[in-house]
Amino acid sequence: DAGVIQSPRHEVTEMGQEVTLRCKPISGHDYLFWYRQTMMRGLELLIYFNNNVPIDDSGMPEDRFSAKMPNASFSTLKIQPSEPRDSAVYFCASTPSSGRAYEQYFGPGTRLTVT
Amino acid sequence: AQSVTQLDSQVPVFEEAPVELRCNYSSSVSVYLFWYVQYPNQGLQLLLKYLSGSTLVKGINGFEAEFNKSQTSFHLRKPSVHISDTAEYFCAVSSGGYNKLIFGAGTRLAVHP
């Protein structure tokens, strides 16, 4: 299996621009998680989905952030408008609901820089 | 509410020396515990997990961890480290029947020759 795929790997944008991060989970996994990692705050869970439905979005920092999962093989995290404080590495992870439950498989991350 | 505390932000150690990375958790219900490793510029990958059974858990790359319920700890150990073990290590907790993980702040292990 190719693992969790994220794109782009690096994104540099100017403040005020819209940014869209993409994730393809491992086939057959029905949980999908979005995390943000910064030096100051460590690894934060932003939102997670089960069977394409958002279950917990309490970690989404503010209304500028939104996430969707239109089908089992694709999710997006959008920031509009972006701000310099959004600069971070954003990870997507997926896990099956049975068998090896709780073992989250992480993608390589998207490094976002907002200038 | 659950939380995870990693007691050391950085641990320097010489190659072939033993190492212990400390992790304490708090939870009012039964827990599942995990250690993940993050190599530079990569995502996290699972080292080992405790779900039930034996309190001594063995993982990949020669790491092991011991679940201590009375001390609410899940320390990670390796008897002899290699340069390639240099990475950041994250302890995480999840309550039963719940896929959401709570991660600690991470411990940066630096192995020196």
The pLDDT tens digits of the residues spanning A32-43 come to 999 999 988 889
Residue closest to A25 by CA, chosen among A48, A9, A56: A48
What contacts A71, CB < 8 A, 6 or more positions away?
Answer: A52
> Which residues of chain A does B90 touch, with a Cβ-Cβ cutoff of 8 Å?
43
Q: What percent of chain B has pLDDT over 70?
A: 95
Whole-number pLDDT of residue B100: 78
CA closest to B31 among chain A residues = A102
Percent of chain B's residues with pLDDT above 90: 72
Alpha carbon of A110: minimum distance to chain B alpha carbons (Å): 10
Place of tokens 């092991």: B64
Query: Which pLDDT tens digit goes with each residue over A18-70?
Result: 999 999 999 999 899 999 999 888 899 999 999 999 998 999 988 999 999 99
Give A93 to chain B, closest Cα distance, Å. 9
Tokens 């995990």 -> residue: B34
CA distances from B85 to A64, B6, B15, B37, B106 (A): 38, 18, 9, 9, 14
Tell if the CB–CB gap between B44 and A106 is shorter than 8 Å: yes
Helices (runs of H) and strands (runs of E) counted in chain B: 0, 12
Alpha carbon distance B56, B68 (integer Å): 9
Evaluate whether B16 touches B80 at the Cβ level (below 8 Å).
Answer: yes
Chain B stretch 64-93, residues whose beta carbon is closer than 8 A to a beta carbon of chain A: 90
Output the average pLDDT for chain B.
91
Measure B60 CA to nearest chain A CA, in Å.
14
CA distance A53 to chain B (A): 14
With an 8 Å Cβ cutoff, are B101 and A102 in contact? yes
| CA–CA distance, A35 with A19 (Å, rounded to integer) | 16
Predicted local confidence at residue A72, as pLDDT: 93
User: Is residue B51 less than 8 Å (CB to CB) from chain A?
Assistant: yes
Chain A residue with minimum CA distance to B101: A102
- Cα B32 to its chain centre, rounded Å, is 12
> What pLDDT score was predicted for residue A115?
96
* Cβ-Cβ contacts under 8 Å, B32 against chain A: 102
Whether pLDDT at B20 is above 60? yes
User: What does the alpha-carbon distance between residue A75 and residue B49 come to, in Å, rounded to a whole number?
Assistant: 27
CA distance B78 to A60: 36
Q: Which residues pair with B94 in a beta bridge?
A: B32
Q: How confident is the model at residue A25, as a pLDDT?
A: 96
Q: What is the pLDDT of residues B32-64, one digit of tens each?
A: 899 999 998 889 999 999 988 888 999 999 999
Give the pLDDT confidence score for residue A2 in this predicted structure: 80
Single-letter residue type at B29: V
For residues A47 and B27, the model is more confident at A47
Q: Does pLDDT of A99 surpass 60? A: no
Separation of alpha carbons B67 and B27, rounded Å: 14
CA distances (Å), B53 to each of A90, B23, B56, in order? 34, 19, 9
Q: Torsion angle, CA of B61/B101/B41/A17, rounded to 10 degrees?
A: 170
Residue B97 is predicted with a pLDDT of 57
Interatomic CA distance for residues A109 and A71, integer angstroms? 20
Q: Averaged over B79-91, what is the pLDDT?
A: 97
